[in-house]
Amino acid sequence: MDNVINFKTAEGIRQDLQEKIDHLTYEQEIPKFKRIPRHVGVIPDGNRRWALNCGLQKKDGYKYGLDPGFHLYELCKDLGVEELTLYGFTVDNTKRPADQKVAFQQACVDAVLQLTDKDAELLVVGNAESPCFPEELKPFLTRTKFGSGGIKVNFLVNYGWDWDLMHEDGLASKDISRMDIIMRWGGHRRLSGFLPVQSVYADIFVLEEYWPEFTPEQFFRGLKWYQDLDQTLGG
């Protein structure tokens, strides 16, 4: 009975967040920005902490991170962002308990496969020679266009920064461009090995909210912060 109550509590929270997202996305105009980043990188952290706060198991947090990703994709597409990169899971993440590992692997598979019904150019980057890399995602190791294409969407799956830099063919992530801004949910102020080459001049915006708590307003907050930054690229 306790598990049922906890699940309903989490489901109620998810529905409340969904209503806020729907309201902001469809009933409120998207703010006008004078400067839109060409490439947005996202570290969607806080899934497990959110799950524990809702009385769920840690593994349950990952499935609640799917809808925020789809909403972010729509917002980026509407705003004219050209490229979006999402940090799926790392080689180090695979050291977590087996139930969590299965959960985040499945979440990545579900995210990529559901985006095949959208307009996007999908690419998955990660160590596909490892048994931790989902078999279903191997067809996406080469960028593939779906619908009318347009926005490039990259997923890092079973990714390791050292694997990327020391790849036998050069930089493994060479088909991903330099990022303009990185937004990290969950409050931690670190990059966790997120594309060290492409992040070299990226501005970093940290949100305290957990990823499953995503709302468009949070994304807009990061874009507003980005407006007046002075990008010299080392010059």
Domains in the chain, ordered, with CATH?
2-27+37-226 (3.40.1180.10)
pLDDT digits (tens, 9 = 90+) for 149-191: 999 999 999 999 999 999 988 999 999 999 999 999 999 999 9
Helices and strands, number each (H, E), in the chain: 6, 7
Q: What is the pLDDT of residue 4?
A: 44
pLDDT band at 11 (very low <50, low <70, confident <90, very high): low
Instruction: Please enumerate in sequence order all residues whose Cβ is within 8 A of that of 148, keeping only pairs 6 or more positions apart, or say none.
Output: 119
The answer on pLDDT for 6 being more than 90 is: no
pLDDT digits (tens, 9 = 90+) for 118-144: 999 999 999 999 999 999 999 999 999
Please tell me whether residue 125 adopts helix, strand or coil conformation. Answer: strand
- Report the 10 Å Cβ neighbour count for 189: 7
The answer on pLDDT for 82 being more than 80 is: yes
Q: What is the pLDDT of residue 1?
A: 40
Integer CA distances (angstroms), 168 to 49, 151, 156, 171, in order: 37, 29, 18, 8
Q: What is the pLDDT of residue 8?
A: 47
According to the 3-state scheme, what is the secondary structure of 156-202? EEEECHHHHHCCCCCCCCCCCCCCCEEEEECCCCCCCCCCCCCCCCC
Q: Name the pairing type of β-strands 83-90 and 144-146.
A: unpaired
Helix-strand-coil percent breakdown of the chain, rounded to 5?
45, 15, 40
pLDDT digits (tens, 9 = 90+) for 47-63: 999 999 999 999 999 99
The answer on pLDDT for 10 being more than 70 is: no
DSSP 77-91: HHHT--EEEEEEEET
pLDDT band at 230 (very low <50, low <70, confident <90, very high): confident
How deeply is 150 buried, as exposed, middle or buried, from its count of CB atoms within 10 A (0-12, 13-18, 19+)? Answer: middle
Q: What is the mean pLDDT of residues 66-88?
A: 98
Q: What is the pLDDT of residue 169?
A: 85
Whether 154 and 142 have beta carbons less than 8 Å apart is answered as no
Whether 189 and 206 have beta carbons less than 8 Å apart is answered as yes
Distance CA(231)–CA(39), nearest Å, equals 14
